[in-house]
Amino acid sequence: MFLRKMSNDEKAEQNVPPTEEEAVVDPWTVSGKVDYDKLIDRFGSTRIDDALIARFEKITGKPAHIWIRRGLFFSHRDLNEVLDMYEKGKKFYLYTGRGPSSDALHLGHLVPFLFTKYLQETFRVPLVIQMTDDEKFLWKDFTLEQCAVFTRENAKDIIATGFELNKTFIFANTSYFGSLYPNVLRIERCVTSNQVKGIFGFGENENIGKYSFPAVQAAPSFSTSFPFMFGKRKDIPCLIPCAIDQDPYFRMTRDVAPRLGYLKPALIHSKFFPSLQGPKTKMSASSALGAVFLTDSKEEIANKINHSYVGEIDGERSLEQNVAYQYLTFFMEDDDKLKEIGEKYEKGLMLSGEVKEVLIEVLDALVKKHQEARSAVTEEVIDSFFSTNRKIGFN
């Protein structure tokens, strides 16, 4: 499946099949060598440049996150407008999500939640986290009961990252659908089956639930989907941090929003977290050898990292191909140390095994800290994050 190039949010061009050189990128599949500059052109988003980063830091009074400065969150839609509104004293809310398809998250799953936590702390705004248990039921061979278990287990990992209870609402689509349904209906009436086919590539034999699901993922972009938080207000903007493969859902959402009298959601896109098997694939929960899970021991982490892809061909060393170094760009906070490791490796002064040793220690510390925090998340704590019988909103 190949997603069309979008010249703007209102109108898309005809689908064009990919060439052999082009990556396949959609909400369910990422394969091939991803060229992020081409993705920006194809999807019609905007690169996060130095000027926008400087404006971000000026308005927040804080340094930009290392993932912004290092270009790992690299693209956006209307982030500048969100900053303009925030500078004028107008608040917004955050929306992100998780498709619960396993009982343990991996490092790639952790990235958007750590970044969203940073945004919540920086802007002091409320957050909604959608658990798309319905999506996994429709796309995977799971029962609803299995999806419910995965939802609770994944919620533990999400809560363990440190979100504020009084500013965070986690919900599963199957249990919160009553409040989402009015907006789901409004969106469904605005989008034809041909448009859904064109955006998502659905065939004639797909179950009908897949055709309606995009409206369910779109609905949390509008503040009226959370009446216990925002009442009937339509004027509260939404900022969505997500990987670039999720963008098609929100291109559709942004097309529909003006027709419903709603604000278009803004987005900030991340690059993909690579698999241990190489930078051409993103980390997946379905591949035990290609992913470091948050339940892994130090021995398991070391075994996986030591067998990770290096990409040295004919003696040539590439930081772009070295998975261990790429992981360090995500999780090593010291810019100078990261630069030093990169320079030494490229010059042959540091072996790939030594880069892996550094990464193993970094990941072991990260995972152990997470496991400790997760062990403190009780069933009662989970229930409190899912509860609508409380006040969540702006100070």
Burial of 181 (0-12, 13-18, 19+ CB in 10 A): middle
* Residue 16: partners with Cβ closer than 8 Å, 6 or more residues away: 2, 4, 5
Burial of 24 (0-12, 13-18, 19+ CB in 10 A): middle
Q: Minimal CA–CA distance to 241: which of 272, 273, 268?
A: 268
Q: Are 77 and 266 in contact (CB under 8 A)?
A: yes
193: left (phi over 0), alpha (psi -120 to 50) or beta: alpha
What pLDDT, on a 0 to 100 scale, did the predictor assign at position 2?
34
DSSP state of 106: B
Q: Is the dihedral of CA 380, 384, 390, 391 positive or negative?
A: positive
Per-residue pLDDT of the chain (395 residues; tens, 9 = 90+): 333 333 333 333 333 344 445 677 777 777 667 889 988 998 999 999 999 999 999 999 999 999 999 999 999 999 999 999 999 999 999 999 999 999 989 999 999 999 999 999 999 999 999 999 999 999 999 999 999 999 999 999 999 999 999 999 999 999 999 999 999 999 999 999 999 999 998 988 999 999 999 999 999 999 999 999 999 999 999 999 999 999 999 999 999 999 999 999 999 999 999 889 876 656 555 555 678 999 999 999 999 999 998 877 767 888 988 999 999 999 999 999 999 999 999 999 999 999 999 999 999 999 999 999 999 999 999 999 999 999 997 75
Domain 24-274 has CATH 3.40.50.720: no
Homologous superfamily (CATH) of 284-375 is Tyrosyl-Transfer RNA Synthetase (1.10.240.10)
What pLDDT, on a 0 to 100 scale, did the predictor assign at position 294?
95
Q: Are 139 and 200 in contact (CB under 8 A)?
A: no
List b or e across 79-116, with b for residues whose CB sees 16 or more CB atoms inside 10 angstroms: bbbbbebbeeeeebbbbbbbbbbbbbbbbbbbbbbbbb
What pLDDT, on a 0 to 100 scale, did the predictor assign at position 278?
73
Same fold for the pair 24-274 and 284-375: no
Q: Where are the domains of the chain?
A: 24-274, 284-375
What pLDDT, on a 0 to 100 scale, did the predictor assign at position 35?
86
